[in-house]
Amino acid sequence: YHPKWSYEILMRNRHLRPCAEIALGHHRSYDGREGYPLSYDNCHSRYRILIDILSICDSMDAATDAFGRNYTRGKTFEKVFREFEANKGTRYNPEIIDFIRSDEALFAQLKEITSKEARGDFYYHIYRKYR
């Protein structure tokens, strides 16, 4: 339910309303055939590119998280990106996937920030700051 709840929360603030549709659509597939909520048509949204970017970011974060999700083990960035490439055009926006692959610096940076070591450092610092 979190896309729907996020939508409802963001709609309460006139400054954040444009973000509401992005939050609502980020669990829909690029081709609009899968995901939720089923009633939302992300393929015709004026925020389509932002929905696609958030979808990739959210998927990358979830799939590479080796600490914050006790129901699964984090995957390597390389493995996740192979899955993105295998599902481009259906689940993920092919232009964004191709852009990430073609930009060596961006690819390396994403690999670094999603690594188990970097994520562990991040969680450690957050824990120390807010415990």
CB 107 within 8 A of CB 100: yes
User: Beta partners for 35?
Assistant: 28
Q: What is the pTM of this model?
A: 0.89
CB-neighbour burial class of residue 31 (10 A; exposed 0-12, middle 13-18, buried 19+): middle
Local confidence pLDDT in tens for the 131 residues of the chain: 899 999 999 999 999 999 999 999 999 999 999 999 999 999 999 999 999 999 999 999 999 998 877 677 889 999 999 999 999 999 999 999 999 999 999 999 999 999 988 888 888 888 888 88
Q: How far apart are CA 16 and CA 37, in angstroms?
A: 20
